[in-house]
Structure 1
Amino acid sequence: MKDDTVKLDLKPGGPATERPISIAIVAMGGQGGGVLTGWIVDLAETHGWVAQSTSVPGVAQRTGATIYYLEMMRPGEGGQKPVLAQMPTPGDVDVVIASEFMEAGRSILRGIVTPDRTTLIASSHRSLSISEKTAPGDSIADSSAVTDAIGVVARHEIVFDMNAMAVQNGSVISSAMFGGLAASGALPFARDAYYDVIRKGGKGIEASIRTFDAAFERAVKGDETPPVASSDTPLPVAILPERLRDRRADAMLTRLRTELPAQAHGFAYLGLQKVVDFQDPAYGDEYLDLLCDLARRDHAANGDAHGFEFTAMAAKYLANAMTYDDVIRVARLKTQSTRRQRVADEVGLKDGQILNTTEFMHPRIEEVASVLPVGLANWLKSRESLYAWLNRRIDKGRRVHTYSLVWFLALYFVGGLKGMRRKSLRHQTEVAHRDAWLADASQALVKNYALGVAMLTFRRLIKGYSDTHIRGQSKFEKVMQATKSIAERDDAPEWAQRLLTSAIKDASSDDIDGTIKTIESFTRA
């Protein structure tokens, strides 16, 4: 058989020299990963080195980071240029720079951090992923495993809160990571050379150099206590003011302070602010009415011996229940100036630039009908043909340009409907569900204090709107009914916690169904 393969003369251009220096940077959008890569390339080329960088973008909305990879090497004898790789190879990376703590952990899982070669430079702060934010409860990943792994798999590590340092000095995290890189000694360049690169940027030079210096000194000095990125969410701490300027607000504050136990003041103060912002002061009075009633029940159940935990948990979860997500709230949040400013900060909006956002919305007729007054909503739902006709025209995905005139005015109008919210079908439904939940928890409190508290925490399962809200409510009902079936057992609080944990972690409901079957097996025995 004839071999038609074309064979090229691929002789080496010269003798092999030292290996290149390889650097992998893992950063999320808006954190200056591209800027940092450019700085390092400029640093190398200024000193006569050959440098090459590539990048693989991550998925949008914080489900993946962009990986920047660069290699640098001195040219060979006679100015021969080296052949540099475009992607990191496990076991062959000299420096890994991670802009967020869990991204450092993912770099370890990829195998690009190795104990014989790699210097790991990482920020210890957390930036939560979409999966952590959208889970129906506390699904923040445990970062302790990353902390343990760093001390084992990296040859040298520089880990501290670079994001906080950058904010404190009025810059961005890329400047802090650049300072950490300079302090690591991984590159054969003097400190002044790093300054020269930063000064070429032309903007924010002073803040960038301040952040660079602070990070450099912090990396050189080190810390006796290794930084740990904690996954625990601290309890909110609120110092109650002595007085408030608004007379009605001051009256509510006085009532909160005098009618509720001190252990609940922090949650109650924050909860009161939340419900008033959601609706109006009258809604805040309703919140206090309900909470004070629960506090009296707590006191009757010897709550003092339990640190009034029932009232404290009620203050937190009752506020969440009363500030449910409906289309009015969603529209109002999207048109707030604070939200626009936050987006502008995240994308690094500069002077003279125009910000546009495109959001995907898929409303259903159920959401539209739910904001109508109860009588009108029920009338509409009773007309099946009309209801279906409207649904065919509403139930469509739409790309909404939030800051265009037409869409902004439409969203602003919907957000302004909060004055009629308490007459809506959705509010009636939410109130009925809320009152039934509080009644179940209060009834359990009489015989089993811990069980009453556990039932209050079931509210963690309900969040969002549309399909997300329906799924959460379905899980809530499963957990509540299963718990009520074993309410007479001494170990009911422990089983309630198992049910809640299963429901939070399980997207498909297989785990929670398995736990319920286990409970049914011994209740039938």
Structure 2
Amino acid sequence: MSAPSSWSAGRRPITIAILAMGGEGGGVLADWIVAVGEQAGYYSQNTSVAGVAQRTGATVYYVELYPRPDDQPAGVRTEPVLSLFPTPGEVDVVIASELMEAGRSVQRGFSTPDRTTLIASTNRVYSMDERLAVGDGRVDSNGLLEAAHAGSRRLIAADFMKLAEDARSVISAALFGALAGSGELPFERAAFEDAIRASGKGVDASLAAFAAGYDAAGRPAPVPLPEPAPAAPGSGPVPITIGRRRPVDPAEEAAAEEERRRDEIARSHPGHLVGPHLQPQAARVAGAFPVAARSMLLHGCVRTAVYQDPAYSDRYLARVARLAAVDPDAEGAAALTTEAARHVALWMTYQDTIHVAQQKIRRRRIEGVRTEAKAAPGQLVNVREYLHPQVEEITDTLPTRLGRWLAGSSLFAKVVGKVTRNGIVVNTTGIIGFTLLWIMARFRPLRPRSLRFGREQVAIDAWLDRAVAAAATDAELAREIVECQRVLKGYGATHHHGQESFGLLMDAVDGLSGRTDAAAELVRLRTAALADEDGTALRAALGPRVVVPARAG
């Protein structure tokens, strides 16, 4: 008589780990897998370990499936003791709802090249660390894809989020289809579909997403892009690539091609890309600025005109013209002029309460929300804004004298703190909420009289004075001075820290003039300023004799 089938006889469960974020249906996906297993007569167990909220981690759902033995000998335990948590190196299938989660699964040892089939969606939902970085904190998607290939026995990867959205479903259904299509579980396709039908919710849409995921599992996974080969000597200019190339997305590629087309039009016929109210500015761009910078200048004109008015665009062009006049490569790449066109526009359109209100009620924004929510025609959609205005944001919007007086009033600060302590919820799509935001946006003509407007204009001109002075002897240093605007972003404490870092950088510029490595040193310092929010890295890079300057803006 043969030995009874048991755990001790070498049989082991099928182990599946699911890494998913809130709202993606990871629990539903785990329940579907359990349902399939139980229907086939398997012992099934499903547990979950909750992650941290706000996208700093995902919930790990863990499923074990163990086949019931055919024989039931007396006195021998046949019901297995299944694990509650995934064990690194012992997971057969890992399902990751996003590319970063695929990387986490490799890092944590859940996905290994000797055992694991890794099913990963290639879409990105940026983590809080990536979002909060002052500079570009995004993790390279190409590197994550490399890790997924290297850290798995088999990789099944596609944009399962898009497949689900196209089917008007959630990503869990598409990933369930990919699991079925992978062939890693010993069940027929019909068993998976029956589990979806048994759930009784959104069945048709879930089945459509399932079918798309099933088909995607049969296609080769995308491969990492190779590093660009160095150009041969004398072969011409080499494009500069910062970081590593990311996998090419067809939509991004089409958008880039459209942008290249618009650039060509801008160089030859700038007026074609702006409305009638900006034709004088377009004519000025065509007649007085380097060809290479014209596309960026037109974007800047549109941005400043939407922010304030065409007269503000004239002011923008006058500022960029100061640097265009000292650009040593005006007939070529015109790097100094182009960067000035970019960063002057960004600073001149700083974020204030008027701008925030204007952006929130734009028709395109509301339409975008409806599209993202997949609202049907005629379906009501409510958009609620969670606002937490501070004293400074309010006083900065007021006329200079009034704003300055209220900024120093402790009573006003107490009143504002009491009213906004728990934040304010505004329904943008409601009559009252929309009207409030509309009225705030109508304050735009009064912006030039506001406290912050005057302060920002003085700071912008002082910044450009430094750049123009540096350009006389060191155009590279001038360009790096212009790019220091990158540290000024956000609002509240983030903007305040950015102003401090910007002031430190401008103080450092005064000591760099005349040095052969001035531009490279300023790049090093600016990189340090972008490394964290509070300027710790910048102060370390500058040395111990750092005194925090007055606010730049």
Shared fold (TM-score, shorter chain, > 0.5): yes
C-alpha spacing 1:261/1:338, structure 2 compared with 1 (3 Å) = same
Counterparts of 1:22-101 in structure 2, within 5 Å, are: 22-76=15-69, 82-101=80-99
Question: Which secondary structure does the structure 1 equivalent of 2:137 belong to?
Answer: coil
Question: Which secondary structure does the structure 2 equivalent of 1:86 belong to?
Answer: coil
Counterparts of 1:269-280 in structure 2, within 5 Å, are: 269-280=298-309
Asked if 1:287 corresponds to 2:311, the answer is no
C-alpha spacing 1:349/1:164, structure 2 compared with 1 (3 Å) = closer
Distance 2:385 2:59 in 1: 22
Aligned to 1:499: 525
Gaps of 5+ in 1: 1-13, 521-525
Distance 1:433 1:146 in 2: 41
Aligned to 1:262: 291
Counterparts of 1:183-332 in structure 2, within 5 Å, are: 183-198=181-196, 208-209=206-207, 211-222=209-220, 225-226=223-224, 230=245, 237=259, 239-240=261-262, 243=272, 246-298=275-327, 301-305=328-332, 307-332=333-358
Post-superposition CA distance 1:215-269 (Å, at most 9, x none): 4444323158446995699997354366368421344444434433332233333
Question: Which secondary structure does the structure 2 equivalent of 1:68 belong to?
Answer: strand
Question: Which secondary structure does the structure 2 equivalent of 1:447 belong to?
Answer: coil
Post-superposition CA distance 1:467-506 (Å, at most 9, x none): 1111001011112211331121111111011001111113
Distance 2:83 2:370 in 1: 36
Structure 1 window deviating more from structure 2 (442-451 vs 469-478): it is 442-451
The answer on whether the counterparts of 2:290 and 2:330 sit within 8 Å (CA) in structure 1 is no
The answer on whether the counterparts of 2:56 and 2:128 sit within 8 Å (CA) in structure 1 is yes
Distance 2:291 2:175 in 1: 44
Among residues 95, 114, 118, which one is paired with 1:120 in the alignment?
118
Distance 2:31 2:437 in 1: 40
The answer on whether the counterparts of 1:482 and 1:519 sit within 8 Å (CA) in structure 2 is no
Distance 2:375 2:335 in 1: 45
Question: Which secondary structure does the structure 2 equivalent of 1:84 belong to?
Answer: coil
Distance 1:487 1:134 in 2: 33
Among residues 136, 139, 142, which one is paired with 1:138 in the alignment?
136
Structure 1 window deviating more from structure 2 (493-502 vs 79-88): it is 79-88
The answer on whether the counterparts of 1:370 and 1:426 sit within 8 Å (CA) in structure 2 is yes
C-alpha spacing 1:391/1:238, structure 2 compared with 1 (3 Å) = farther
Distance 1:35 1:341 in 2: 30
Counterparts of 1:347-426 in structure 2, within 5 Å, are: 355=382, 357=384, 359=386, 361=388, 363-381=389-407, 384=408, 387-396=409-418, 397-403=421-427, 409-426=435-452
Distance 1:360 1:144 in 2: 36
Distance 1:65 1:347 in 2: 23
Question: Which secondary structure does the structure 2 equivalent of 1:398 belong to?
Answer: coil
Asked if 1:485 corresponds to 2:511, the answer is yes
Distance 1:276 1:402 in 2: 27
Quote the offset at 1:354 in angstroms.
7.0
The answer on whether the counterparts of 1:244 and 1:250 sit within 8 Å (CA) in structure 2 is no
Asked if 1:21 corresponds to 2:24, the answer is no
Distance 1:222 1:207 in 2: 25
Query: Aligned-pair RMSD on alpha carbons?
Result: 3.6
Structure 1 window deviating more from structure 2 (493-502 vs 477-486): it is 477-486
Distance 1:462 1:150 in 2: 36
Quote the offset at 1:98 in angstroms.
1.2
Quote the offset at 1:420 in angstroms.
1.4
The answer on whether the counterparts of 1:139 and 1:504 sit within 8 Å (CA) in structure 2 is no
Among residues 102, 119, 124, which one is paired with 2:100 in the alignment?
102
Quote the offset at 1:26 in angstroms.
1.5
Corresponding letter in the other structure for 1:378: R
Distance 2:18 2:366 in 1: 29
Corresponding letter in the other structure for 2:147: A
Structure 1 window deviating more from structure 2 (128-137 vs 365-374): it is 128-137
C-alpha spacing 1:269/1:507, structure 2 compared with 1 (3 Å) = same
Aligned to 1:152: 150
Corresponding letter in the other structure for 2:471: L
Corresponding letter in the other structure for 1:58: G
Distance 1:20 1:70 in 2: 10
The answer on whether the counterparts of 2:273 and 2:298 sit within 8 Å (CA) in structure 1 is no
Post-superposition CA distance 1:305-360 (Å, at most 9, x none): 5x111111112211210111222223444455655666677778899897575736
The answer on whether the counterparts of 1:160 and 1:227 sit within 8 Å (CA) in structure 2 is no
Quote the offset at 1:399 in angstroms.
2.9
C-alpha spacing 1:200/1:415, structure 2 compared with 1 (3 Å) = farther
Among residues 470, 473, 480, which one is paired with 1:447 in the alignment?
473
Quote the offset at 1:458 in angstroms.
0.6
Distance 2:178 2:528 in 1: 41
Quote the offset at 1:370 in angstroms.
0.9
The answer on whether the counterparts of 1:400 and 1:407 sit within 8 Å (CA) in structure 2 is no
Distance 2:195 2:302 in 1: 48
Distance 1:443 1:450 in 2: 12
Quote the offset at 1:86 in angstroms.
3.2
The answer on whether the counterparts of 1:377 and 1:425 sit within 8 Å (CA) in structure 2 is yes
Corresponding letter in the other structure for 2:411: W
Distance 1:519 1:231 in 2: 40
C-alpha spacing 1:411/1:134, structure 2 compared with 1 (3 Å) = farther
Structure 1 window deviating more from structure 2 (135-144 vs 485-494): it is 135-144
Post-superposition CA distance 1:358-398 (Å, at most 9, x none): 7362x3322221111113223445xx5xx111111213522
Distance 2:153 2:279 in 1: 58
Quote the offset at 1:466 in angstroms.
1.6
Distance 2:291 2:200 in 1: 54
Gaps of 5+ in 2: 227-243, 547-553
Quote the offset at 1:87 in angstroms.
2.6
Distance 2:379 2:464 in 1: 52
